Structure 1
């Protein structure tokens, strides 16, 4: 198989994936398809400029031929390798389920603070999801416990209590978001970046079966995982 055919095969894979992303079933020009897909997919948006350039080259390969009908725009090996790698990234993006699923312990608002701290230490985590009435309620953090402890000391109150006592000290600019197990790592990146632009911090992204806050977490992504998120997307 020559370079032109390899290039066209990779391009066709990308075009098919864009149709799946957008739900388009009828014929649509590639540039329109790309523009529509980039609105809903951070992964496509990331490579939008490269895809536009590859579309121009695709057109040259398909339409520019010699008098004998031979293709005269033959991509070099490097370009073919690049589009094949891009096709792999777009059609088979790394999933959060492959890297961030793990047992996540939870507690409820009436759990003793000492018990919650013990759970965190067992998990090796400074964050613990709090569930109440069948759904997510809050995210308990060591920072919140520290603020509660300081408040109790300053007011000469006993250092005993339940998780709900600490929730009063949460940072109102911090949020917890949810992703389904089918999400790819770029979606997690997009959530962190979008929140940063809005001046809001993400304490954690909880992974549930379908991304619902009413489902128990089966994985968690925190700011500490950002280096791995970007490493996986290279």
Structure 2
């Protein structure tokens, strides 16, 4: 039965090995490596504070050992579980495939709003990719629908439910989505949402294709609500 200090040090050493594999300068210290790599690796960025604290804990355990078999301090269970979790995320990162791979409900630009509202009512979905044949045109969300309704009710005598989706798409911003490849890690996806918010842009969904291009078949979707659940 391994002690908490042994489990902690084993996981920490494996994390250190991963960091070194990502560095050009292999002799760089652990804490410095974390700071250098955090802008390149979403998992490291997510756990930067934890990793820096664990570096101090590692030093305390290793440098203050009474002998080889006895550590002066034993990490709490929650600390050991967290460092092992970080190790798993670094060595076996969760990817959007298969977590968010699913059949996506899409519409053609010339379909009526009634068709979309029926799906909203039946399935509770509120984000829909819009196509012209096989060409991706944009993403309609509940916000765009609401904006169009407010505008359309004032300026149009056409029955609301007969409106074409191409018209409603004009009420959406063109930057409310991004395409990502199926091999994208969950933490990379999270960072995309966060980075866009930092730029004052609200991403409503990440659209998944094999290589991350809009000309490919749509394989899945990650919404901001999905990310909140993760």
- Pairwise TM-score range, normalised by the shorter structure: 0.7 to 0.9
The residue aligned with 2:210 is 209
The residue aligned with 1:32 is 32
- Residue 201 of structure 1 aligns to a residue whose secondary structure is coil
The residue aligned with 2:18 is 17
- Residue 128 of structure 1 aligns to a residue whose secondary structure is strand
- Residue 40 of structure 1 aligns to a residue whose secondary structure is coil
**For the aligned residues, what is the CA RMSD?**
3.2
The residue aligned with 1:55 is 55
| Aligned-residue offset at 1:153 | 3.6
Gap regions ≥5 residues in structure 2: none
Q: Which moved more, 1:78-87 or 1:186-195?
A: 78-87
The residue aligned with 1:109 is 109
The CA distance in 2 between the partners of 1:196 and 1:228, in whole Å, is: 18
- Residue 84 of structure 1 aligns to a residue whose secondary structure is helix
The CA distance in 1 between the partners of 2:45 and 2:142, in whole Å, is: 36
The residue aligned with 1:179 is 180
Report if the CA contact (8 A) 1:144-1:166 is conserved.
yes
Aligned CA distance change for structure 1 residues 108 and 92 (closer, same or farther; 3 Å): same
Report if the CA contact (8 A) 1:64-1:72 is conserved.
no
- Residue 8 of structure 1 aligns to a residue whose secondary structure is helix
The residue aligned with 1:95 is 95
Q: Cα deviation per residue 1:159-188 (whole Å; 9 max; x = unaligned)?
A: 33422121222246x511233333333223
Q: Cα deviation per residue 1:51-77 (whole Å; 9 max; x = unaligned)?
A: 2232234345555666xx746654404
Give the aligned length.
225
The CA distance in 1 between the partners of 2:191 and 2:10, in whole Å, is: 29
Report if the CA contact (8 A) 1:62-1:71 is conserved.
no
Q: Cα deviation per residue 1:178-201 (whole Å; 9 max; x = unaligned)?
A: 333333332232222222222221
- Residue 131 of structure 1 aligns to a residue whose secondary structure is strand
The CA distance in 2 between the partners of 1:7 and 1:144, in whole Å, is: 50
Q: What's the TM-score once normalised by structure 2's chain length?
A: 0.77
The residue aligned with 2:74 is 76
The CA distance in 2 between the partners of 1:61 and 1:32, in whole Å, is: 20
Q: Cα deviation per residue 1:3-39 (whole Å; 9 max; x = unaligned)?
A: 554333211221233345x364844432332122211
Gap regions ≥5 residues in structure 1: 230-234
The residue aligned with 1:125 is 125
- Residue 202 of structure 1 aligns to a residue whose secondary structure is coil
- Residue 177 of structure 1 aligns to a residue whose secondary structure is strand
Q: What's the TM-score once normalised by structure 1's chain length?
A: 0.76
The residue aligned with 1:162 is 164
Report if the CA contact (8 A) 1:60-1:73 is conserved.
no
- Residue 207 of structure 1 aligns to a residue whose secondary structure is strand
The CA distance in 1 between the partners of 2:144 and 2:65, in whole Å, is: 68
